[in-house]
């Protein structure tokens, strides 16, 4: 209860509709009836509501061997060499929104919703959630999109998948932001507890309460402090969209279960340029895990992301964009270890 108690306490300091949200939340937790919140139209405006414009997605189908078809929602824009963006657990392609405009002038960007997240339907029960199957159907999706060995950039879960795609020879280069799977048992249990608890409590929040809460700095700090290094810079609409996606992700539990498998990544990627970027303030997957990646992939280039948390796309979009552009450039020296855009070695933290 500590997490939600801190949230309600923080929200209660906001006053107005936020105070009402806190009162409603207390009522929900105590089993009492919730008042009906008026919509923006009924209240004569959009005050207290976080408005996220609907986005049009395209859909593409892939198939893993003789298993059923997999449907993936995606957006495609820009020009240049193709770069595929893969999000993390409980997230969606919109997590890359701050970064995409910064790279589309030089790259063709394909941002995807993994099955069971965002607008992509969940996997058919006949399709396994193991990484080998994911690599197989993603390879078929690349073929359907007409991109041969694109650059692949992934965050967290998406970073692990990106590394496996590179290992399978399906990626021209791999950029992994805080890739999952390089944890100890204790680190995995901690990360699972954090994301599972966040999802549990967000699912208890009525949508109007969630929208009002994210408009206050104290509540936003509680809701996002574990994920973001610069939570105060996170726009309320982005926080609301991220939490709503976490709540509604149909593939969350099954993907979490699959992540308990041992040996999620083993071996090396000797023939593909690999960049590992990690927020120096990542509280979910500590940056010390980067050295475990480097131990397996000796030629990987390590890039620290100063002051960034687990979701650096919202903390420092420009830094992440430069990292991606550097990593997907035509010539990338293997094994270089430096901050993006400079010739200086990185500071402590990785």
**What is the CB neighbour count within 10 angstroms for residue 193?**
10
Q: List, for residues 116-152, the tens digit of each pLDDT value.
A: 999 999 999 889 999 999 999 999 999 999 999 999 9
pLDDT at res. 198? 85
Q: List, for residues 66-103, the tens digit of each pLDDT value.
A: 888 999 999 999 999 999 999 999 999 999 999 999 99
Is the distance from CB of 302 to CB of 346 less than 8 angstroms?
yes
SS3 76: strand
pLDDT at 9 over 60: no
Q: How confident is the model at residue 15 (pLDDT cuts 50, 70, 90)?
A: very low
14-28, 149-163, 247-261, 271-285: segment of lowest average pLDDT: 14-28
pLDDT at res. 248? 87
Average pLDDT for 24-47? 35
Q: List Cβ<8 Å contacts ≥24 apart for 16-24.
A: 17/47, 17/48, 17/212, 18/212, 18/213, 18/215, 18/216, 18/219, 20/212, 21/208, 21/209, 21/212, 21/213, 22/209, 22/213, 24/206, 24/208, 24/209
pLDDT at res. 57? 92
Question: Which pair of structure tokens corresponds to residue 21?
Answer: 């949200």
Query: 11: burial class by Cβ within 10 Å (0-12, 13-18, 19+)?
Result: buried
Is the distance from CB of 328 to CB of 83 less than 8 angstroms?
yes
pLDDT at res. 64? 86
Q: List, for residues 317-337, the tens digit of each pLDDT value.
A: 999 999 999 999 964 444 444
**What is the CB neighbour count within 10 angstroms for residue 302?**
21
pTM to 2 decimals? 0.79
pLDDT at 287 over 50: yes
216 HSE (CA, 13 A, CB side)? 23
Query: 73: burial class by Cβ within 10 Å (0-12, 13-18, 19+)?
Result: buried
pLDDT at res. 302? 97
Average pLDDT for 303-314? 94
Question: Which pair of structure tokens corresponds to residue 171?
Answer: 């990626």
Q: List, for residues 222-235, the tens digit of each pLDDT value.
A: 666 677 766 666 77
Give percent of the chain with pLDDT exceeding 90.
59
């Amino acid at each position: 209860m500590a997490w939600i108690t801190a949230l309600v306490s923080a929200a209660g300091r906001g006053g107005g509709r936020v105070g009402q949200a806190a009162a409603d939340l207390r009522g929900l937790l105590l089993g009492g009836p919730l008042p009906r919140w008026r919509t923006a139209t009924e209240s004569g405006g959009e005050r207290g509501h976080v408005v996220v414009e609907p986005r049009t997605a395209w859909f593409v189908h892939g198939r893993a061997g003789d298993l059923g078809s997999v449907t993936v929602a995606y957006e495609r824009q820009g020009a240049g060499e193709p770069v595929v963006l893969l999000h993390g657990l409980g997230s969606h392609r919109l997590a890359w929104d701050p970064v995409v405009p910064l790279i589309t002038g030089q790259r063709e960007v394909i941002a995807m919703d993994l099955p069971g997240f965002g607008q992509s339907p969940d996997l058919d029960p006949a399709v396994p959630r193991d990484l080998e199957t994911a690599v197989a159907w993603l390879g078929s999706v690349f073929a359907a999109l007409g991109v041969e060995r694109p650059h692949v950039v992934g965050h967290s879960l998406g970073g692990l998948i990106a590394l496996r795609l590179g290992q399978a020879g399906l990626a021209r280069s791999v950029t992994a932001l805080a890739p999952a799977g390089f944890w100890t048992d204790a680190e995995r249990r901690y990360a699972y507890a954090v994301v599972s608890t966040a999802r549990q409590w967000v699912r208890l929040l009525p949508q109007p309460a969630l929208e009002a809460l994210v408009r206050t700095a104290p509540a936003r700090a509680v809701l996002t402090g574990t994920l973001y290094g610069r939570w105060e810079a996170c726009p309320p609409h982005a926080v609301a969209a991220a939490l709503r996606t976490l709540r509604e992700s149909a593939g969350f539990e099954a993907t979490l279960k699959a992540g308990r498998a041992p040996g999620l990544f083993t071996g090396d990627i000797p023939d593909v340029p690999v960049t590992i970027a990690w927020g120096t303030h990542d509280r979910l997957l500590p940056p010390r895990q980067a050295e475990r990646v480097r131990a397996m992939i000796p030629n990987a280039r390590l890039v620290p992301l100063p002051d960034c948390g687990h979701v650096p796309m919202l903390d420092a979009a420009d830094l992440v964009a430069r990292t991606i552009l550097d990593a997907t450039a035509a010539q990338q020296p293997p094994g270089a270890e430096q901050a993006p855009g400079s010739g200086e070695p990185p500071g402590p933290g990785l």
